[in-house]
Amino acid sequence: MQTVILLGAPGAGKGTIAELLVEQVGFTHVSTGDMLRDAIKKETPMGLEASAYMQRGDLVPDTVVAGIVADRLKEGNESSKFLLDGFPRTLEQADLLAKSLEELGESVSAVFLLELPVDIIVDRLTGRRICKNCGTGFHIRNIPPKVEGVCDKCRGPLYQRPDDTEATIRNRLEVFEKQTSALINYYDQKNLLIRIDSAGDRNATADTIVAKLSSTTG
């Protein structure tokens, strides 16, 4: 089993890069944000619990997210390749992940940290639009759809995430600084961290990751 983590501030491009890596490497994409949004849409008990945290841009409790990821990993086998996007976000979650993998006789293969300046992050998030049907990401200037408000892939309607407003974005960036940045040292000390400049073209960023993956995990 291969378990690769994509780490980076909100807006660093984790979702977009993950889509490219799924196409190129055949990863199974595990996005806790997507899973939580899905639970909210379906009004499951977990969705109802998560909704208020997400609207504020705060983190959902560790045990909730770690539980859904653990369930997903258990469905894998020796040849599975998991790409974790948006998880872990705290040291507690990193520990819970390590334990879940250990129970399966596995460990984290590599951690890619997507780095870019804050002003680019804010621009990316405020301009981000997502397809309601298939989840494909667009940007009103950087990755515009062919027809405004309509998904290129499935013709579904595009929407703006309710937590992509300026105030919530500011809180999400603060939360990242306070809680998630501790993970950078955690994985660096384990020699698993690979820093990637994510300010440029997303295809180039994905290509860099694919090249590093083949040299680090074989």
Burial 81-95 (b: 16+ CB within 10 A, else e): bbbbbbbbbbeebbe
5 touches ligand AMP by CB under 6 A: no
Beta strands in 45-192 (DSSP E): 81-85, 110-115, 128-131, 137-139, 158-159
Residue type, 127: G
Choice among 37, 81, 89, 129 that is catalytic: 89
Known catalytic membership, residue 161 = yes
Which of 7, 9, 17, 60 is the binder for ligand AMP (CB under 6 A)? 60
Q: Choose the binding region for ligand AMP from 20-28, 51-59, 147-155, 186-194 (rule: CB under 6 A).
A: 51-59
Coil, strand or helix at 201? coil
Report the site for ligand AMP in 23-42 (rule: CB under 6 A). 32-33, 36
65 touches ligand AMP by CB under 6 A: yes
Reported as half-sphere exposure (CB side, CA atoms, 13 A), residue 74 has a value of 9
**Element holding 195 (H helix, E strand):** strand 193-197
Known catalytic membership, residue 155 = no
For the four alpha carbons of 193, 122, 125 and 120, in that order, the dihedral sign comes to negative
Q: Choose the binding region for ligand AMP from 49-57, 71-79, 131-139, 147-155 (rule: CB under 6 A).
A: 49-57
Report the site for ligand AMP in 147-166 (rule: CB under 6 A). 163
Size of the site for ligand AMP (CB under 6 A): 18
Q: Which residues bind ligand AMP (CB under 6 A)?
A: 10, 32-33, 36, 53-54, 57-60, 65, 86-89, 93, 163, 172
Which residues participate in catalysis according to the annotation? 14, 89, 128, 161, 172
